[in-house]
């Protein structure tokens, strides 16, 4: 099996309040069939053996591209320049021998660094709590077939619902805007008949919370769309803008 010798430039930061810095590591003899995170595992195993430094801390869990926990900016691009994947789905065969790889956390003031590459993305949870739901008390739902949903609407809702909440959109945006995330979440529910009753409240609430969390403003550069592991379209941002305008208008006259 081919092996790679790589140089890693990794962001190390003791904790949320300490200064961070880029440290250089030699990653020798990395199998090409390993995943990117397994490559870090190998480096960490060596760091532990060596005993000089703590292993590199990073978020990860399912390692199959669905939980949204892994979050590395690789050579300046969240989840790497490969399209439609999360960090954990990146494999070392995409790199070549002798390469230098820069590994940094997802950067945004709204995602403060906890340690090394681990960030706090709880702002996303608070945005959902501000309206990203349909209020339906358990047990009070009508029969699932009570409402027919045209397939195109169901599909559009699904396309938006594919969001895994990883935050790559924020990390890639020059302004650290959360518009792709917020719009996908809102769009999922706003496309469905069940979501209509709370639509205005949802849009106003989620956008309000998004602003409060300190995310930047969308400048329509679509970097978010390019790095989204689920390739969610910025069409949802247009829809959110439209829904927000309508909701604000209705809110101001009612």
Partner 1 sequence: MSASSCSLCTFAKSSIGRKIIVALTGLALVLFLAGHLSGNLLIFAGEEAFNDYAHFLHTFLHGAGVWIARIGLLFCFVTHIVFTVLLTKENKSTRAKYAKDTTVQASKSSRLMIWSGLTILAFVVFHLLHFTVRTDAELAALGEISPWEMVIVAFQNPLVVIFYVIAMTCLCSHLGHGVASIFQTLGLRTKKTAGPIQFLSKAYATVIYIGFISIPLAILLFGFGR
Partner 2 sequence: MSLDSKVPTGPLADKWTSHKMDSKLINPANKRKFKIIVVGSGLAGGSAAATLSELGYQVDCFCYQDSPRRAHSIAAQGGINAAKNYQNDGDSVHRLFYDTIKGGDFRSREANVHRLAEVSTEIIDQCVAQGVPFAREYGGLLDNRSFGGAQVKRTFYARGQTGQQLLIGCYQALEKEISKGGVTMHPRTEMLDLVVVDGEAKGIVVRNLVTGEVTSHAADAVILATGGYGNVFYLSTNAMGCNVMASFRAHKRGAYMANPCYTQIHPTCIPVSGDYQSKLTLMSESLRNDGRIWVPKSKEDAAAIREGKKTALDIPEDERDYYLERKYPSFGNLCPRDIASRAAKECCDEGRGVATSGLGVFLDFKDAIARDGEDAIRARYGNLFQMYEKISGDNPYASPMQIYPAVHYTMGGLWVDYNLMSNLPGLHVLGEANFSDHGANRLGASALMQGLADGYFVIPSTIAVYLAKQTAGSVTTDHPEFKKVENTVKDRLKSLMEIKGNKSVDSFHRELGLLVWDKCGMARDKEGLQEALKRIPEIRNEFWTNVRIPGSANGLNVELEKAGRVADFIDFAEVLCHDALDREESCGGHFRSEHQFTDADTEVQDGTTQAGEAKRHDDQYQYVAAWEHTEPGTPPILHKEELVYEEVQPSIRSYK
Query: Which residues contribute to the site for partner 1 (CB under 8 A)?
Result: 9, 11, 22, 73, 75-77, 81, 102, 104, 107-110, 172, 174-177, 179, 204, 207-208, 210-211, 214-223, 225-227, 233-235, 237-245, 248, 251-253
Expressed in percent and rounded to 5, the helix, strand and coil fractions of the chain are: 40, 15, 45
Nearest CB to partner 2, comparing residues 5 and 220: 5
Based on its alpha-carbon atoms, the radius of gyration of the chain, rounded to whole angstroms, reads 21
* E-strand stretches of the chain: 3-12, 21-31, 72-74, 77-78, 100-105, 113-115, 118-119
Nearest CB to partner 2, comparing residues 139 and 174: 139
C-alpha 133/C-alpha 36 separation (Å) is 34
**Residue pointed to by tokens 């900016």:** 73
100-105/3-12 β-pairing:
parallel
Does the protein bind partner 2 through residue 161 (CB under 8 A)?
yes
Structure tokens at 111: 């995602």
Does the protein bind partner 2 through residue 149 (CB under 8 A)?
yes
Adjacent-strand bridge partners of 104:
73
Residue 194, CA distances (Å) to 23, 72, 144 in order: 51, 36, 11
C-alpha 207/C-alpha 186 separation (Å) is 10
Residue 64: CA atoms inside 13 Å, Cβ hemisphere, count?
A: 1
Does the protein bind partner 2 through residue 226 (CB under 8 A)?
no
Nearest CB to partner 1, comparing residues 55 and 214: 214
- Part of the chain binding partner 2 (CB under 8 A), chosen from 169-177, 192-200, 233-241, 246-254: 192-200
- Part of the chain binding partner 2 (CB under 8 A), chosen from 102-110, 137-145, 169-177, 243-251: 137-145
Among 37, 108, 171, 232, binds partner 2 (CB under 8 A): 37
Does the protein bind partner 2 through residue 77 (CB under 8 A)?
no
Nearest CB to partner 1, comparing residues 43 and 169: 169
C-alpha 210/C-alpha 227 separation (Å) is 20
Residue 45, CA distances (Å) to 54, 126, 135, 144 in order: 10, 36, 47, 50
- Part of the chain binding partner 2 (CB under 8 A), chosen from 60-68, 96-104, 218-226, 241-249: 60-68
Structure tokens at 92: 């070392």
Nearest CB to partner 1, comparing residues 92 and 186: 186
Does the protein bind partner 2 through residue 206 (CB under 8 A)?
no
Adjacent-strand bridge partners of 10:
23, 103
- Part of the chain binding partner 2 (CB under 8 A), chosen from 4-12, 98-106, 114-122, 216-224: 114-122
Among 10, 85, 171, 240, binds partner 2 (CB under 8 A): 85
Nearest CB to partner 2, comparing residues 20 and 175: 20
Q: CB 251 → partner 2: shortest distance, Å?
A: 19
Does the protein bind partner 2 through residue 107 (CB under 8 A)?
no
């Amino acid at each position: 099996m081919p092996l790679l010798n790589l140089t890693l430039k990794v962001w190390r930061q003791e904790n949320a309040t300490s200064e961070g810095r880029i440290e250089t590591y030699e990653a020798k003899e990395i199998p090409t069939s390993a995943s990117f995170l397994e490559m870090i595992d190998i480096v960490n195993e060596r760091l532990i053996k060596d005993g000089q430094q703590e292993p590199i801390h990073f978020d990860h869990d399912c390692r199959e591209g669905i939980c949204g926990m892994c979050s590395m900016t690789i050579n300046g691009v969240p989840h790497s320049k490969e399209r439609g994947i999360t960090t954990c789905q990146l494999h070392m065969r995409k790199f070549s021998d002798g390469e230098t790889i820069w590994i940094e956390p997802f950067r945004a003031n709204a995602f403060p660094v906890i340690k090394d590459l681990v960030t706090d993305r709880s702002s996303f949870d608070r945005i959902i709590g501000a309206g990203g739901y349909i209020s339906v008390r358990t047990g009070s739902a009508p029969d699932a077939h009570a409402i027919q949903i045209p397939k195109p609407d169901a599909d559009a809702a699904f396309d938006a619902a594919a969001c895994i909440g990883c935050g790559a959109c924020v990390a890639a945006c020059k302004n650290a805007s959360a518009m792709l995330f917020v719009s996908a979440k809102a769009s999922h529910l706003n496309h469905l008949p069940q979501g209509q009753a709370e639509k205005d409240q949802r849009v106003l609430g989620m956008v309000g919370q998004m602003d409060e969390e300190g995310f930047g403003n969308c400048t329509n550069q679509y970097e978010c769309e390019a790095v989204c592991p689920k390739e969610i379209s910025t069409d949802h941002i247009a829809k959110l803008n439209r829904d927000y305008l309508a909701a604000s208008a209705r809110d101001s006259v009612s």
